[in-house]
């Protein structure tokens, strides 16, 4: 007799395939997205509660998430969690863990499969929330949703695989097993720039592995995270497995990181915040009997290197796409283009020509490529860097900004020194530094001359140069003759070196190991 578990196992054993992105040139797809935008628009401005152990709690003190293109348009109001509520959420999650850790891995995986099915059905609605709340274009938002579906499908399969009998050596006279068991209560702190995909990936990896979660979304993307909470409620995830806390990181962040019952922190965000978490998580507190695990994905100052043998048209297209997709607000964004001198002028000209049409605008419209940057703080920081760049290099394109939203035009600096601030510091906006290299060796040296090591790309047809890049281009994700953004789950396990984080390899076969611990069990006959 076929059981429910049998069907889940069958789905888990089916080959994983990346979710296709939507072709918005198709009229029915375009209309579906327009309809979703209208529906979500009618839902803007609502007040959202905290969720602790299944209880919805609304505080008097709230904060607003706004549309970065129209800051007067409130996306939603969110309760500002207190330290006391944070402690209560951790207590509830810790109590829930005692039961959740005993739920079979196949059953835990079933919640991810069910959530993936609902997210597919609500794809255009989730896209719309991202278009409004963080200013993603239609294409960027849809790729984000597709990646979230991929994470759910992939991690469900991975948990079923890890729960199966592991290939350990059977010593004579013994029965040997290796079991991957959960850690405990985890603090999940996702970013605003991939507010669906990374938030869903970090959260689902945590609880499918048997952990319970305190999800503290970015304040500028809290409505998007709540849509996922609604999905988890609909699939019947037990109360207390995922708890939703909104509020200032300055108020509740340290409590989450330092609490003795928190077993791990999964964080994606800036270098400075990541380092603060790393330091504070390393210090044991009264009652803490473990070393906390820090799973950190931080910044990047990613480079695309172009040598004299490259397809220059393809390289220049990749440079523009990598630098200005989602306003350059990606840790993987190609914010440096390093071009050998023999083809420098040609590539610069092509990059400028291809970037010129990329005007910013209303991302609720299907053809808009770039929207506003996330908020006023980011807006001011990027403008400051543009002013710094004007004193360091030649402004070749853009540099303009306008309101009332936080719009900054695609900005390109040329003849940038390798040690210039705009070539070394993460700007996290639509600013590209183009650097001239003497030769390929020099280009590779410049590419590695940064404290980061997340993504990198080489455009070349020289087999020796490609071989050398494989060995010496020091990044966690290296792409040959391909843009440096857009990692695919399963195909490009994602995570970087140096100050880019702990090389977590999200979307890869190693990722769930970060949320588990291996228990070797031996029975002597």
CB 107 within 8 A of CB 95: no
DSSP 506: B
Q: Which of 250, 207, 222, 205 is nearest to 86 (CA)?
A: 250
* Pick from 393, 380, 332, 420: nearest CA to 147: 332
HEC sequence for 277-328: HHHHHCCCCCCCCCCCEEEEECCCCEEEEECCCCCHHHHHHHHHHHHHHHHH
CB neighbours of 122 closer than 8 A, spacing ≥ 6? 227, 231
CA angle 315, 391, 354 (to 5 degrees): 25
457-469 exposure pattern, b = at least 16 Cβ within 10 A, e = fewer:
bbbbeeeebbebb
The full DSSP string for 103-114 is S-HHHHHHHHHH
* b/e burial code for range 407-442 (CB count within 10 A of at least 16 → b): bbbbbbbbebebebebbbbbbbbbbbbbbbbeebeb
* Cα gap 71→478, rounded to integer Å: 37
CB 81 within 8 A of CB 48: no
Q: How far apart are CA 182 and CA 103, in angstroms?
A: 11
Burial class (CB in 10 A: 0-12, 13-18, 19+), 348: buried
Q: Spot the catalytic one: 147, 297, 392, 426.
A: 297
For the beta carbon of residue 3, count every other beta carbon within 10 angstroms: 9
- Of 325, 386, 315, 326, the residue nearest 348 (C-alpha): 315
Which are the contacts of 186, defined by CB distance < 8 A and separation ≥ 6?
A: 206, 211, 212, 213, 214, 262, 263, 264, 265, 266, 515
How far is Cα 121 from Cα 470, in angstroms, rounded to an integer?
40
Active-site residue, 331 included: yes
Kindly name the residue from 133, 140, 196, 331 that is annotated as catalytic: 331
The gap from C-alpha 349 to its chain's centroid, in whole angstroms, comes to 32
Instruction: Give yes or no for a contact between 104 and 4, defined as CB atoms under 8 angstroms apart.
Output: no
DSSP structural state of residue 220: G
To 5 degrees, how large is the angle CA 40–CA 41–CA 44?
Answer: 90
Give the residue numbers marked as catalytic.
297, 331
């Amino acid at each position: 007799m076929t059981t429910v578990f049998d069907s889940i196992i069958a789905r888990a054993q089916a080959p994983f395939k990346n979710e296709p992105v939507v072709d918005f040139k198709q009229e029915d797809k375009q209309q579906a997205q327009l309809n979703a935008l209208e529906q979500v628009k009618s839902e803007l401005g609502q007040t959202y509660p905290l969720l602790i152990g299944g209880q919805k709690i609304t505080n008097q003190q709230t904060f607003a998430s706004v549309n970065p293109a129209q800051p007067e348009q409130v996306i939603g109001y969110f309760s500002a969690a207190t330290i006391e509520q944070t402690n209560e959420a951790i207590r509830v999650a810790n109590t829930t863990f005692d039961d959740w850790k005993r739920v079979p891995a196949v059953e835990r995986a079933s919640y991810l499969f069910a959530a993936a099915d609902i997210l597919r059905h609500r794809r255009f609605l989730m896209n719309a929330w991202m278009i409004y709340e963080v200013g993603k274009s239609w294409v960027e938002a849809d790729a984000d949703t597709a990646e979230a579906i991929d994470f759910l499908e992939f991690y469900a399969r991975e948990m079923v695989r890890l729960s199966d009998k592991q290939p350990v050596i059977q010593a004579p006279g013994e029965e040997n097993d290796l079991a991957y068991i959960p850690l405990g209560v985890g603090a999940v702190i996702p970013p605003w720039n991939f507010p669906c995909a990374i938030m869903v990936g970090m959260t689902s990896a945590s609880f499918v592995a048997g952990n319970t979660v305190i999800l503290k979304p970015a304040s500028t993307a809290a409505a998007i995270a709540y849509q996922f909470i609604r999905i988890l409620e609909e699939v019947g995830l037990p109360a207390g497995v995922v708890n939703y806390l909104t509020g200032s990181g300055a108020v509740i962040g340290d409590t989450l990181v330092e609490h003795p019952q928190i077993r791990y922190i999964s964080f994606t965000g800036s270098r400075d915040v990541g380092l603060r978490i790393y330091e504070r998580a390393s210090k044991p507190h009264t009652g803490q009997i473990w070393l906390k695990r820090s799973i950190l994905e931080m910044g990047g100052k990613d480079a695309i290197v172009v040598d004299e043998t490259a397809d220059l048209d393809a390289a220049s297209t990749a440079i523009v796409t990598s630098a200005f997709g989602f306003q350059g607000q990606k840790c993987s964004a190609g914010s440096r283009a390093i071009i050998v001198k023999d083809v420098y002028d040609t590539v610069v000209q092509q990059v400028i020509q291809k970037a010129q049409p990329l005007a910013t605008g209303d991302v609720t419209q299907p053809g808009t490529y770039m929207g506003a940057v996330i908020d006023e703080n980011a807006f001011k920081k990027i403008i400051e860097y543009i002013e710094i760049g004007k004193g360091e290099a030649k402004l070749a394109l853009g540099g303009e900004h306008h309101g009332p939203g936080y719009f900054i035009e695609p900005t390109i600096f040329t003849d940038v020194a390798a040690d210039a601030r705009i070539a070394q510091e993460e700007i996290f906006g639509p600013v590209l530094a183009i650097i001239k290299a003497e030769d390929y060796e020099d280009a590779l040296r410049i590419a590695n001359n940064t404290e980061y090591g997340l993504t990198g790309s080489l455009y070349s047809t020289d087999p020796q140069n490609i071989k050398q890049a494989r060995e010496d281009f020091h990044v966690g994700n290296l792409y040959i003759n391909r843009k440096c953004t857009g990692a695919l789950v399963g195909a490009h396990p994602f995570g970087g070196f140096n100050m880019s984080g702990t090389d977590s390899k999200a979307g890869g076969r190693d990722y769930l190991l970060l949320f588990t611990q291996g228990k070797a069990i031996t029975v002597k006959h």
